[in-house]
Amino acid sequence: MSATSTMSLFDKTIRRDVLISSLSAYVPLRPCTFLRSPLKTIAPPLHKKQCHLSKMTPMQSEKPPLHAARLLFPPTNSTPIRQSLPSSPLPQTASPKLPSSLSTSSLSTLSLPLTLKTSPPPLAKCSPFPFPKTSPSPSEAAATRPSELLPPPRLPDTTGPLFEHQPFIVSWNIPDLVCKRYNISLDTSPFKGVATPAKVPGQFLSLFYTDRLGLYPHVDLARRKQYNGGIPQRGNLKASMNKAREDIDYYIPSKTSQGLAVIDWEEWRPLWDRNWGTKRIYQTLSLAHLMQTNRSMSVHQATEKAKQHFEVAAKSFMSGILAMGRAMRPNYLWGFYLFPNCYNYGWSKPDYTGRCSKEVKRQNDELLWLWESSTALYPSVYLQVSLADSPKAALMVRNRVQEALRVSALSRPSGTAPVFAYMRPVFVDQNRRFLSQGDLISTIGESAAVGVSGAVLWGASADYNDQTSCAALSSYLSSTLNPYINNVTLAAQLCSNFLCRGNGRCVRKNSNSNHYLHLNPENFKILHVQNRYLVLGRPSLTDLKALSRRFTCQCYKGLNCSPRTHGELAKALEFSLKQGLYQKFHTLNKAMLDDAQQDSITKDNVKKNLKV
């Protein structure tokens, strides 16, 4: 992507843009003015694009005294819970205390006090992220016309978040066996739910391949072999369900735990007409199976009958396995990987829009039984290298996840099903090349902005199968991916709590705009302290007003999340300041680090630096 095309993904509508996102504010916090001891600051400028980000080295900065900070967002419990969020984002509580144990599975946002007794000179290496000033593109100008001030239609209610106060999460589903063998650490602390695709029971994300759930009928073309009857009509549904019951008991032994259950059956598609290319073998075998017992039929009659038998049998296998999963492990979110699909290929064409065709939408409507049976949807937005650093990537992702959101709302009066978009940190056709920061905006950032519940980062065993690839992944996490995940998830949380009263998630008013949920780089800085990510800063009223102009709220079912007016946002911000600069809003209060502990941490950092 050229510099110009990269900028088109950012907010360009406000004067003095120093842009990472659609959040824009102009009251610099200068958080680094008071930093004293060395630590890493990690967040490369979003306007700089790297193909091989593993070669980057984090900038060095300095850290504030932790005992002088307040928590904007608390460390979240890694135990999944679905609870109603408080109507006020920041209830009155006692002043929070910084956790004494710096857990690698938690993320905190710190805001410096409004006044400090001393003001050392600012440090040159700790300036806010530099982003270029840009002018509005035609699409951005259209997205911010006066018509946008009209209230958007009310969105249907949706299922509450899997983790409390986490409207958007990113889960880890990448193999780590080879990396562990080489003793290469992978920092997964920003991820909510860390799992591996390997055959390991009891994981937050249970991934059921064809050999892990029931007796899935399919054909192996390479081996020219049929398994379990080959086609759904010839499969043994009863035997398959009996084995599936045993598989679920093995892979999800706990009946009370919560998580994601993703079924990866890709050999055939439940709609006859979608079995094209190599999948046409299922049409051929279905027709041959029918003709064996009905030789008097014409080819046309046999084809129509075979289509009917195939789709009925396919529905029985898929809806039956979902019903069993829901009954046995109701706290897991059950769905099929790749469903729904938009089939919006063709991005090589200059006029590519990414929109799903009317025919695709009509076919997806025929799968109403599948959307009603699923408790979560898992579309795929993997990128090919031809989409690297291209604005067309955002168009492809945007329309795929919007189609998933559309079908999740069909015949669901009680609330839409959550959508989790499957992504990869590398390109499908070049698995040694990592996504640039612009590509992350087009995938993770785009998904968060249109209102999905989360993303799943998946990796193949072939992606990280030697020391070099594992080292590259480790470096990419610390330099690029983790800072961006922290940025987006925290911005989504901030928007939810301030704009939506903590009772819903933020969704673009104009789905085709380029507004993103990112922290304003003038007011926030991402730091890495003691194996834990911290975000220094606080939003300004201008930030919150920008959110209200560009985003609306989708309520969690049963809750009121009507977007706050500008006046209400000002009062909410003032209230939070009076309560001690963003206090914890749930019960994870722990002991504050005292001066002795802080000195000890500082000495440890010095020792580590000397060793290096």
Which residues are catalytic, by number? 266
Best CA proximity match to 210, nearest among 189, 226, 193, 195: 226
| CA angle (585, 589, 590) in 5-degree steps | 155
CA distance 371 to 368: 5
Residues 6+ apart with CB under 8 A from 486: 107, 190, 526, 533, 535
Count of CB atoms situated within 10 Å of the CB of 277: 6
Best CA proximity match to 550, nearest among 109, 6, 8, 14: 14
Q: What are phi and psi of 258, to 5 degrees?
A: -120, 155
CA distance 575 to 92: 9
Distance of CA 325 to the CA centre of its chain: 23
Q: Please classify residue 226 by burial: count the beta carbons closer than 10 Å to its beta carbon, then call 0-12 exposed, 13-18 middle and 19+ buried.
A: middle
3 state DSSP class of 225: strand
Beta bridge pairs of residue 94: none
3 state DSSP class of 180: helix
Structure tokens given for 127: 């300036």
CA distance 407 to 423: 20
CA distance 192 to 105: 8
Name the residue type at position 418: P
- Tokens 């055939």 belong to 268
Tell me the H-state helices in 31-83: none
CA distance 180 to 185: 7
3 state DSSP class of 105: coil
